Structure 1
Amino acid sequence: METGSKIPLSHSLWSPHDTVKDVAESLGIALPEEAAKNLAMDVEYRIHEILETAIKFMRHSKRKLLMTTDINHALKVLNIEPLYGYDNSQPLVFKEALVGAGGQTLYYIDDNEIEFEKLINQELPKVPRQATFTAHWLAIEGVQPMVPQNPLPSEIKSLPPILRGATSSMLGSDILADESKDSESSKEKKVTEKETEVKPLVKHVLSKELKLYFDKVVEVLISTESEKEILKNAALNSLKNDPGLHQLVPYFIQFVAEQITNQLRNIEVLSTMLEVISALVDNKTIFLDPYVHALMPCILTLLLAKRIGPVLKDLDDIENQELLKNQLAVREFAAILLEHIIKVYGSSYSTLRPRVTRTLLRALLDSLKPIGTHYGALLGLKNMGNEVIKLVLIGNLKVWWKSVVEDGTKSEFEKGILLSTTIDILRSLKVTNEDDISIDSEINNEIKDKLKDRLGDKLSNAILEQDDAYEIIRGLFFGEIVV
């Protein structure tokens, strides 16, 4: 390197060569030019590294002003001792002074001077309390123990019912009130509690548009005027396709439950309520999982209720028979909805299918139930799947037909409906005959005896009279014997 060459300056505003030389001279160290240059480059690299790390802390803090805390965090991350004496609580005040003969301006931070005697004589700050923890039983199995930390029973009774969390009856009398008090004090207490208005913590607020929509839809759905049939279809289509109705779901379910409870004799209203449930289930924008427990009683009521529609006494009359078929059509619709809900929400509720199956079987084997209940139970078990038919229904058909149908008070018309429904359910299990063999040669006496032993004489003879008896029997005994 030439002796007359000048050390190149850095990209910063200060000269690292001069700074390093000045620091070395103040320490009594004589540095060569090359060593000063290399050392100055390393110092500048370290400064840039600290600044880049501090800027990262500044950006993560969502700030645009670099602070001393960012520098201290950067120094800690880089394993460098932080700088002391700088605080962000007060802004830095810079003052200027003239240095040297040329009048060069020097800016410095003005430090506050504190008198030592004043610092010694002032009062010491209070020592903070040490954090301690204690434990006690608030209640053991609902009973509050008598410990100093818990309030006394007399103190609890002196508090208002709302503050102590007491349960109040519909008349406003406190259940936990002391019965030993005289009648006058109890009357005064009732009056004061009646005047107290308890507001719920969470209030469900609906917009005026949703309230108006709900009122109009409910009015159209319960209307019996023929002119509003088009509006009823439009309302059901809106429930099926419109988004943004999730807030109204609990209100519609409550409306359906009330109508089913109060209008069990009105077939039209019951059919409309099932259509409302179907529309809500088909609406893909509505999350119905939390409301399945409220929908199931509505569907099972229309499927298994003793009486829906008008009471029919004489079923030999053709008009009454048509009315009975209309009632059974409502139960068929309810069975279809039950199948759909179990398929869609059965995975979310693991106990839904077995609980419904148990309810249907209990209704089927009850000899005091009318034909509508037995018909709905048969349809419900059929829609639960082939496994339920094989494991639950077929094993109880013989006992059911003997004790419920034959020994009951059902008419021949009702028995015919139940018999045809049972055969249709067994037909759903049939296995197609792959070999072109005559049916009479395949159904031998041994198979007929096994069929009668499983289903009884009446059901066996009815199956043997069917044109597809061979396929029905193959499905009935599939996997057990070779038919």
Structure 2
Amino acid sequence: MSMLRPETLQVVAQSLGLDDLSPTCVQELLPEVELRVREVIQDALKFQRHSRRAQLDPTHINQALQARNLESLYGFTAPGAVKYRQCEERETLFFAEDEELELAEVLNAPLGQIPLQPMLNVHWLAVDGVQPLIPENESIEDDSTCHTSIKDEAFVNSVDRKPLVKHVLTEEMQLYYTKVTEAVKSDDFELQRAAFSSLARDPGIHQLLPYFSRFIYEEVKHSNHDLSLLFSLMRACRCLLVNQNLHVELYVSSEGYWPSSLLLAHPLPSNWLHQLIPAILTCVLGKQLCENPADDHWALRKYAAQLVAQICERYGETYANIQARVSKTYHKAITDPVSLDRGASPSLSPPALQDIVTLLYDAFGESLLPYIRPEQPTSMLDLCL
């Protein structure tokens, strides 16, 4: 016995334009229609259980119809219960109550806005840590322009203020930094070689670069004339320079105050470079690099001078003031009597001075020869000095 009434099937047939449906045909179609309805309801119950819903709703019915490649139901997914009214002519017939609308109001109503098509747009959030000023990025405003209307001191004092953290390192990065710095300062050759190899090749240590540059700066400043430690620090600096995955120029070109106690005994310009170059030039022009003057501190000075030359050659075109400032420092270390008395210039040995003079003579000797009087000295040293 079918659960569906013949009247239900006749109403559906009439809505489809089939008015002459015979009672015999209705009785034959009722079992088949009921079977299809049961299948759809069973599939809808499966969707209800998988979506963990407590009640079956029209959304599950539509999902079941879509799974069977059937058209979904329209107008039954609105929130709230659907109101049904009883037909006046037949008490057993119900229909959904719809709101009556005036056709003139519908025709005269303004058209809605056309929805925008989905699209993708690519822009830079930051380039080398600097946020570009483009409309897609939020403008960075001064905090002083932000005011609050709350004046109660008790409320203001009760608010927990957290410090701004601009650079957060993971535990793995912190552990790596600790191990590398300990290896640089240790006397274990194998441990140092492993640390230097990692600094020269590892592409994932870019976040630690400012910390390593600051570490080299502070350790050179407080080295206490430890020649082996200074050598290790210069090797670490060279490893950072040869690593192609690091942007060392961001820390080579930084301008700031260069403490006079770090390098020469006399004050240097206050707008000098303050990250890597001061530490390297300390090992070139420092007054005393080792406790025992008999130690080979010239090798350290030569090694550090090669690093300075490498920096000038690599970043001289990008930052034009690097070579000029380094040359000015060398010139002041050679010509300043105070530096000579306090031992800053012995970092340039006589062979090194001879090399500098030779380079100057090769560059400017031919252009200066026509202006030299016969009674003037013509030796290379006298000419250039």
Report the TM-score, using the length of structure 1 for normalisation: 0.40
Higher relative contact order (CA 8 A, sep 6+): 2
